[in-house]
Amino acid sequence: MLLRSPELITTIGLIDNSPLDFHSGKLNSYVRESEREVLGLVRKNRNGLNNYGPEDLEGQELLSWKIYAWYLDDIIRKSEFEHGSYRVNQISGVTVKMPQFLTDSHNIVNEASVQRYISRLIEFARVIAEVKERVMDDRDNGTIAPDFIIEKALVGLRSFVAQGAKENPLVTTLPAKLKALSDINATRKEELFQQVVTIVEKQVLPQYKQMIALLEQLLPMTDGTAGIWRLPQGDAIYAAALRSNTTTRLTADDIHELGLSEVTRIEVEMEKILTAEGIDEGSIVSRLRALRAMPEHQFANTDEGREEQIAYLNEINDTLMSKVSDYFITIPPQPLEIVRVPKYAQDSSPGGYYRPPALDGSVPGRFYLNQKNTAAYPRWTLPTLMYHEGSPGHHFQLSAMQLIENVPMIRKSLGFNAFTEGWALYAEYLVAKDMDIYRNDPLGDMGRLVDEMFRAVRLVVDTGMHAKRWTRDEAIDYMLDKTGKGEAEVTREIERYVVWPGQATSYKVGQLYLLRMRAMAEEQLGDRFDIREFHEMVLLNGAMPLEILEESVSSWIQTQKATAH
């Protein structure tokens, strides 16, 4: 399966530009036949897996079998809905993600790798054409994105082509990479550069323009209905999405009620901090908005202000790293970089995100901060974002997964969202409650609660739109009322949930499961409970479905008891 994805091989980073490199001039196939071939391979693998277990397996072998079986079953469950998603949208898909893959992940180290980059640009034009055919096939089978999703996708597509080839990021990011190559003379570098300009101008941008024309044709055929229930088999699509994203059997009703309960609890904690700080007039949301706007918490929306913001994040990380050895056995040896989201991607990117290091060490772990408008992140909101995306959140979890020994490669590359995002949200809680890092920073703790409220509200609005038939505006109004975030940010978030049904539920469900499992371990082990050992067990087994993690924690508790005896 890995060999069928040149993009995934590059992302993992093991054999690019080595004698084994057969892939880095290629991109995936996006035609229906290729998807069906992969699905056939998945079914074959799943059936073949039964020849290896689960009988007579134990320890890591049994765990590997369970994780891989669950993963394959999940692919098969979701494959029942061939037209169950919006392939071109404002936040994902090849038109959004592929340019950044080509500029950030494709590693240029010599002339051969430049030639492979050129080959991939030609491949990119082919990919867009294939996806365009799939969008038309979706249309013919009852799947067209809501009008507001198409309109936002068009904004990104038009922006990508607006300045022409020479100002396109596929071109503008190349000169600095060519300049670093000492084995190519200036004349050859100019020849390679002009090849790239020509391909982008003659092949890539025309395909984008054709995609723009297609989406413009689709607009009159759709409406503003937000929920996935609008599609054929929509209710079943959402049930499968919740199963996949939460890796539990919680229903939409379960998750909705869980979200409402968490919103109420968090509001009580917020009220305590605001009152203690003397910010006690008006609703919680009005007070949070006033707090966000206070000049003393802002970074200037200039290059200097952005540099200061990044420097502050590095200070937060340095302070955190001085304390982590009391809570973790394995500290990631892979470096963490804090960088700005590329300007060309900031309009379609979230506020912050993390990309794990390459397995071969060629690329460090990176926390990307969207700095289009520094006011989006006042000073008191940044610590919890850093702990979530960096250490001890995603960077600890995803780096640790790469360190697991004597397990199949699949264990180092699978990412179950409820586990990975649940861990990052758990990390926010750990830093606040166990490490007591906000002892002298109540507003920093308020930043944590604001983010936790955001994740709790997600449970409500995601299930609201996709199961309870809320409108887009109802979901926006609820999030505005409960989070204190700005309307533009809330609108962007709600529209993300429209495109990715169920994905937003994984964060809070994952955190609550981890906290419940830890509480179970503390209760059963008493004084024998060691938080460092607990974290080691969770992280050094890698990401897995929560229902399998629960089995693993129970088994670990029994082992700890037996060892103590």
- The answer for residues whose C-beta is within 8 angstroms of residue 559's C-beta and 6 or more apart is none
* Residues paired with residue 217 on neighbouring β-strands, in sequence order: none
Please give the pLDDT value at position 15.
86
Q: Which of 461, 443, 511 is nearest to 270 (CA)?
A: 443
Please give the pLDDT value at position 348.
67
Write out pLDDT tens, residues 549-559: 999 999 999 99
Sequence ranges of the domains in the chain: 2-30+81-224, 240-508
Residues in the chain with pLDDT < 50? none
Please give the pLDDT value at position 415.
85
State the DSSP code for 157: H
pTM of the model: 0.87
d(C-alpha 196, C-alpha 113), whole Å: 13
Please give the pLDDT value at position 14.
73
State the alpha helices, DSSP H only, in 50-110. 59-78, 94-100
d(C-alpha 459, C-alpha 479), whole Å: 11
CA gyration radius, the chain: 24
Please give the pLDDT value at position 565.
65
Burial of residue 554 (number of CB atoms within 10 Å: 0-12, 13-18, 19+): middle
Q: What are phi and psi of 367, to 5 degrees?
A: -100, 115
Structure tokens at 297: 């918490």
d(C-alpha 287, C-alpha 483), whole Å: 11
Write out pLDDT tens, residues 190-227: 999 999 999 999 999 999 999 999 999 999 999 999 99
